[in-house]
């Protein structure tokens, strides 16, 4: 899949031309996103390897900006052209539109001139004239005060309404502002060695903010296993699980494996079974590939096993046939969710999410929790977690579990809900359930 995307981007962006750089790559990414609604992470995986350093960073920054502000850019473009342009021309216009939003009135002339000149190369001279005329009108519209908060912060109206009902208008505005800011990159330091100076300490022990301009070093250190790029919110569920040396732990929804590795690093000795659903037949699932890579970096004293299965559809015979434990000291269920707590990172989620998804996720989450609970030994514990800020996927799932017969042997020991506007990192919910002896 990544190779297909790479070839498409090279074709879309004119990669064979000497002018190919971050801006042209951003137009190519945007063109494919507009035409096919491909996932942002898949598109970025396919960026040509020849594009590196600042140009690669510029491509991602511009593309992310377009996706973040998509509905506001679309609203400003509406009615400015008699008929829809080629997708590539529209991609040029929305990339320029984001630059106009980002740069403000002082850079308007420069942004428009740059877009027109680039359009002559990536499109045609005639289309460059269209870009010139439309971009000038677009700049005026983008300078106007937005009509409502959903337009102002480029979020779906239904989602803003849902959050307003749940959190209130003032808090919703804080969440919207948070989501629209570029996300810092954090790293968890994994080894007993001095931390490089380009990793800035944070208020969360073990987590560092990555300073710009050191990506070659960061990649090297990550490949060597010295660090893992990870948001500090992940410490919440691992902290509640509190893995101990020598324990047997199941990570029940493990891919891509960042939390499995965190568990192993915390334990130092013991066993981690990392389970997740298999990918589509005949296709490479990059999440499972990364899970395997992450498990390979576990401390030598921790035995690891990767298992592909749907937690809800396997019984004890499945584990027995693979010579895996039938019960566990601790189970982490980091359940699939709406991702409403991580929209600063997963910038296209808001455009894919539908109102009915919350109930669908909650139903699946409760099924997974029931299945995971059956694997906890007497006296053991399970941590249920999500990267959602929505009560329907957090507190209400826990309530549903305790309202069922499956919740009988368990008690709620602790729970935490992180909100980005309060905690300064991704949103997350985590709940520790202890099973009686």
The count of other CB atoms within 10 Å of the CB of residue 248 is 20
Residue 21 has, within 13 A of its CA and on its CB side, a CA count of 9
User: Whole-angstrom Cα distance, residue 130 to residue 325?
Assistant: 65
User: Whole-angstrom Cα distance, residue 415 to residue 12?
Assistant: 48
pLDDT at 46 over 90: no
Helices (H), 297-348: 316-321
Find tokens 């997963």 and name the residue: 346
**Active-site annotation, residues:** 387
By mean pLDDT, which of 85-89, 203-207, 277-281, 333-337 is the weakest?
277-281
pLDDT at 161 over 50: yes
The count of other CB atoms within 10 Å of the CB of residue 172 is 23
- Give the DSSP H or E segment for 371: helix 357-373
- Give the DSSP H or E segment for 357: helix 357-373
By mean pLDDT, which of 46-55, 140-149, 154-163, 250-259 is the weakest?
46-55
| C-alpha 207 chain-centroid distance | 18
Q: Coil, strand or helix: which one is 270?
A: strand
* Section 11-24 average pLDDT: 61
* Per-residue CA distances from 276 to 237, 282, 287, 325, 430 (Å): 18, 17, 10, 16, 19
Strands 207-210 and 186-189: antiparallel
Give the rounded percent of residues in the chain with a pLDDT score beyond 70. 96
Residue 9: predicted pLDDT: 52
- Cβ–Cβ under 8 Å, residues 430 and 256: no
Angle in degrees, 0-180, between the axes of helices 125-142 and 108-122, rounded to the nearest 10: 150
Helices (H), 268-394: 286-296, 316-321, 349-352, 357-373
Residue 19 confidence class, pLDDT cut points 50, 70, 90: low
Helices (H), 226-270: 235-241, 258-267
Residue 48: predicted pLDDT: 85
| C-alpha 379 chain-centroid distance | 34
- What's the chain's average pLDDT? 94
User: Whole-angstrom Cα distance, residue 177 to residue 152?
Assistant: 10
For 194, which DSSP code? P
Which residues, in sequence order, are bridge partners of residue 305? 273
The 10s digit of each residue's pLDDT in 394-407 is 999 999 999 999 99
- Give the DSSP H or E segment for 22: helix 22-36
- Give the DSSP H or E segment for 325: none
Q: Is the dihedral of CA 56, 297, 182, 42 positive or negative?
A: positive
The 10s digit of each residue's pLDDT in 291-329 is 999 999 999 999 999 999 999 999 999 999 999 999 999
- From the number of C-beta atoms within 10 Å of its C-beta (0-12, 13-18, 19+), residue 70 rates as buried
* Structural domains of the chain ordered from first start: 2-149 (1.10.940.10), 152-179 (no CATH), 186-229 (no CATH), 232-435 (3.40.50.150)
Rounded to whole angstroms, the maximal C-alpha distance in the chain is 76
Residue (of 338, 353, 337) closest to 158 by Cα position: 353
User: Whole-angstrom Cα distance, residue 346 to residue 350?
Assistant: 8
Residue 13: predicted pLDDT: 46
Residue 133 confidence class, pLDDT cut points 50, 70, 90: very high
The residue count of the chain comes to 437
């Amino acid at each position: 899949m990544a190779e297909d995307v790479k070839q498409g981007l090279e074709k879309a962006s004119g990669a064979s031309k000497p002018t190919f750089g971050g801006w042209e790559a951003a137009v190519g990414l945007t063109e494919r996103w507009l035409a096919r609604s491909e996932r942002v992470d898949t598109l970025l995986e396919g960026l040509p390897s020849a594009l590196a350093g600042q140009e690669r960073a510029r491509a991602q920054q511009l593309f992310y900006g377009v996706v973040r502000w998509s509905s506001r850019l679309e609203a400003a473009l509406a009615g400015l052209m008699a008929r829809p342009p080629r997708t590539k021309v529209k991609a040029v216009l929305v990339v320029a539109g984001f630059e106009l939003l980002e740069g403000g009135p002082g850079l308007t002339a420069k942004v428009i001139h740059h877009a027109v000149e680039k359009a002559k190369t990536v499109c045609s001279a005639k289309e460059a004239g269209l870009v010139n005329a439309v971009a000038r009108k677009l700049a005026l519209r983008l300078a106007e005060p937005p009509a409502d908060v959903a337009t102002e912060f480029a979020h779906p109206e239904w989602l803003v309404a849902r959050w307003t009902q749940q959190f209130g208008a003032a808090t919703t505005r804080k969440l919207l502002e948070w989501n629209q800011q570029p996300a810092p990159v954090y790293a968890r330091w994994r080894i007993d060695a001095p931390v490089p100076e380009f990793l800035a300490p944070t208020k969360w022990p073990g987590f560092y903010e990555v300073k710009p301009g050191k990506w070659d070093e960061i990649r090297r250190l990550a490949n060597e296993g010295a660090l893992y790029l990870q948001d500090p919110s992940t410490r919440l569920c691992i902290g509640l699980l509190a893995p101990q040396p020598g324990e047997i732990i199941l990570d029940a929804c493990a891919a891509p494996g960042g939390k499995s590795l965190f568990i192993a690093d915390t334990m130092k000795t013991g066993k981690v079974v990392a389970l997740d659903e298999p990918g589509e037949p005949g296709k490479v699932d990059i999440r499972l590939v990364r899970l395997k890579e992450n498990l390979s970096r576990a401390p030598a004293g921790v035995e690891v096993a990767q298992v592909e299965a749907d937690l809800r559809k396997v019984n004890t015979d499945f584990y027995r046939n693979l010579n895996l434990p039938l019960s566990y000291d601790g189970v982490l269920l980091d359940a699939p969710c709406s991702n409403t707590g991580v929209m600063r990172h997963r910038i296209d989620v808001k455009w894919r999410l539908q109102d009915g998804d919350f109930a669908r996720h909650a139903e699946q989450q409760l099924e997974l929790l029931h299945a995971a609970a059956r694997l906890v030994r007497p006296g053991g514990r399970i941590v249920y977690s999500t990267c959602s800020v929505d009560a329907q996927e957090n507190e209400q799932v826990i309530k549903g579990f305790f309202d069922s017969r499956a919740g009988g042997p368990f008690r709620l020991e602790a729970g935490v809900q992180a909100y980005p506007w309060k905690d300064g990192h991704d949103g997350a919910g985590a709940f520790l359930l202890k099973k009686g002896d």
